[in-house]
Amino acid sequence: MKNLTALSVKTVQGELYVLDQTLLPQQQVWHSCKTVPQMVSMIKALQLRGAPAIGIGACLLLAYRASVGDSREQLLLDAEVLRAARPTAVNLMNNLDSMIAALKQTDFTLTAIACAEQLFAEDVELCQRMAEHGAELVQEGEQLLTHCNTGGLATAGVGTALGVISLAHQQGKNIRLWVDETRPLLQGGRLTAWECQQLGIPYQLICDNMAAMLMARGQVDRIFVGSDRIAANGDFANKVGTYSLAVLAHYHKVPFYVVAPHTTVDLACADGSAIPIEQRHADEVRGVSGAFGKTVWAPEQAPVFNPAFDVTPAALVTRWVFDTGVYSHADIAAGVLQQFA
């Protein structure tokens, strides 16, 4: 397998390494990942996260396992185990479908490796196209807002929503970015803020509940978010708190964009009600943990509701930014997403 390098995953002499995102920004630690249980654990613990990155990581692991001699039958079983690691992120399922097809070929080791390398390269290209389409929407001097982490940590390339924002910055548009902290796991505060510092993007970190005040003051010109799954009607699932932002943006007449590769579209979901929403561990809400340690502020047995994602109705979206272009409500109603079948 080729040596491949992304912000969150890399291969070195055929072996796979994953950047532990739970330790950022204080520590940058790469873990070797050689087994399926390791990968599942990393995905569930959010050491590897972001819908495109999860899919790429899982496929690179299968390619590695094929290269060290695992049987076709074992690899097909492993693919199903990996598929169940995160139920909402459809990129994982789509990428694994491609790998399964490769594993069914005669020389499955070579085809699996080639497939994983192709999926990696494809994601890099998709990210660049999304960035170019989305950056055209950004005007000089605008103040943007984003939620969760949608940059290189979440993809093989420059990212989805943060890729758009980064390119607008590189184009000299003199933008400023509001970064939602993104409770309960603080992906904005820990990861997006870290990426912005690496990229030199002017930003300010805010608590999630400050966005409404900024919109009311006219200090948000556009909002860009990512997605883990987009239904056939344009409804989409993203990190919990996205729906709240969309409602606020609608009330304050702030343009609201979802940025995602076409691999995030799931035509089997007619609308958002069919998207499975992962429930995560109660401890994530009772306190917080990271490289800094663990703090618990709620009663140890406090009942908790902790969905990882929420669903934003298509009616609240201004435009959908894909690698193939920017689409309106009329486009979605006309079935433009069917091209991704």
DSSP 61-106: HHHHHHHTT--HHHHHHHHHHHHTS-SS-HHHHHHHHHHHHHHTST
pLDDT tier for residue 243 given thresholds of 50, 70 and 90: very high
Q: Does residue 173 have a pLDDT over 90? A: yes
Q: Where are the domains positioned within the chain? A: 4-127, 131-340
pLDDT tens for residues 97-140? Answer: 999 999 999 999 999 999 999 999 999 999 999 999 999 999 99
Q: Does residue 289 have a pLDDT over 90? A: no
Mean pLDDT confidence for 260-270: 96
DSSP 147-176: -S--SGGGSSSS-SHHHHHHHHHHTT---E
C-alpha angle 154/156/162, rounded to 5°? 50
pLDDT tier for residue 73 given thresholds of 50, 70 and 90: very high
pLDDT tens for residues 323-332? Answer: 999 999 999 9
Q: Enter the pTM of the model.
A: 0.96
pLDDT tier for residue 291 given thresholds of 50, 70 and 90: confident
Q: Does residue 89 have a pLDDT over 90? A: no
**Which residue carries 């091209």 as its tokens?**
339
pLDDT tens for residues 37-54? Answer: 999 999 999 999 999 999
Instruction: Check if 97 is active-site.
Output: no
When the pLDDT of each residue in the chain is averaged and rounded to a whole number, the result is: 97
Residue 210 has φ and ψ, to the nearest 5°, of -100, -10
Q: How far is CA 104 from the centre of its chain?
A: 28
Quick one: DSSP state of residue 188? Answer: I
**What confidence score (pLDDT) does residue 215 get?**
98
Residues 202, 175 contacting (CB under 8 angstroms)? yes
CATH of domain 131-340: 3.40.50.10470
**What confidence score (pLDDT) does residue 292 get?**
81
Residue 145 has φ and ψ, to the nearest 5°, of -140, 140
Q: Name the token pair of 323.
A: 């690698």
Q: What percent of the chain has pLDDT over 90?
A: 97
Q: Topology of 4-127 in CATH?
A: Four Helix Bundle (Hemerythrin (Met), subunit A) (1.20.120)
CA–CA dist 298, 237 (Å, integer):
28
**What confidence score (pLDDT) does residue 126 get?**
98
Beta-sheet strand order (sheet of 236-239): 265-266, 229-231, 236-239, 309-312
Residues 94, 55 contacting (CB under 8 angstroms)? yes
Which of these is catalytic: 70, 228, 266, 323? 228
